Amino acid sequence: MSIIVTGAAGFIGSNLVKALNLRGERDIIAVDDLTDGDKCRNLADCDIAHYFDKRDFVQRFADRQLGDVRAVLHQGACSSTVEHDGRLMMDNNYRYSCDLLQACQDQSVPLVYASSAAVYGSGTDFREVRECERALNVYGWSKSLFDQQVRQLLPRARSQIVGVRYFNVYGPREQHKGRMASMVWHCVNQYRERGFVELFGEYGNYPAGGHLRDFVSVQDVVKVNLHWLDHPHTGGIFNVGTGRARSFNDLALATINSLRAAEDRPPLTLETALLEGVLRYCEFPDSLKGKYQVYTCADLTQLREAGYREPMLTLEEGVQRYIGTINR
């Protein structure tokens, strides 16, 4: 039976395909939009059975042309949090997902899909309940609206539906994302190209570099997705983060010191990094004011209660592993 991965050439999708290969899975149908053909490099070391363009896939699947399907891991989306074209965002993230959900339910095929912590907006309560969700942009709202459709369907669902609500994910195979790549990726490039890393200055009662996010390794994100693949009788929407908020200063230092360790150089403290000009700040951009999450921290209560027990990598552990893959 096939496993379908949408967004298969993207960041999380390609990591999922690789992880499935490592489990011996080869009957994988990859779905994506390769208008940006360079994304195919994310799948160059992966084995798949077939590829479909996203525009052809849903109708073929709905018409039962793809044979027996074990599950759909739906990672495909427009993931730009600064995209202003609401029609584009809703077509890609909401309408497309609704059509795929219907096709899965019609055939009793499990669906594990990517939700996002962007649904929480400027809130400080990160529980997977409707009253905590107040998206700040159309990306977050497109994800929130699909989550609401799922909630309505769950009590009468014919097969598993799981929303995996990602917090700030970083890790290998994100090089194609450009501006939307993780801050770890940007810090690596800045440090190598300029010799220093630049973060946002103070904003929203947070000091320079002090905005807090829950940074989670793609390695843990993949493990959570595969957990639901292995437990097809559990449904719901679940946060995936570390359960700990860390500052961008922490992230920058973890990145800088991992790069320095690879050069056999001693680690820097925050104070030393600032004094040596290795860490600097820029003015917070006006274009992001009122649209920027200054704080996120995953509440993992529901995830743990649903049976996922694996510990999450710390920021330092995850960044060190990531830098190791970049340096190879």
Residues flagged as binding site for NADP(+): 11-12, 32-33, 39, 54, 75-79, 92, 143, 169, 177
Report CA dihedral (98, 176, 9, 147) to the nearest 10 degrees.
-20
Cβ atoms within 10 Å of 269's Cβ, excluding its own: 10
List strand residue ranges (DSSP E) for the chain, in order. Answer: 2-6, 28-32, 50-53, 69-74, 111-116, 161-166, 168-170, 197-200, 212-213, 215-217, 236-240, 246-247, 279-282
Extract the annotated binding site: 11-12, 32-33, 39, 54, 75-79, 92, 143, 168-169, 177, 179, 186, 200-203, 213, 292
Cβ atoms of 234 and 154 closer than 8 Å: no
Helix (H) or strand (E) holding 149: helix 138-153
Nearest to 177 by CA among 233, 122, 226, 218: 218
Angle between helices 218-230 and 11-22 (to 10 degrees): 60
Q: Which of 94, 113, 139, 166 is catalytic?
A: 139
Extract the annotated binding site for substrate: 168, 179, 186, 200-203, 213, 292
Q: Which of 18, 177, 206, 295 is catalytic?
A: 177
HSE of 37, CA atoms in CB hemisphere, 13 A: 0
Cβ atoms within 10 Å of 83's Cβ, excluding its own: 17
Separation between Cα atoms, residue 202 and residue 283, nearest integer Å: 8
Cβ atoms of 126 and 298 closer than 8 Å: yes
Active site residue 177: yes
**Beta-ladder partners of 203:** 206
Catalytic positions are 139, 177
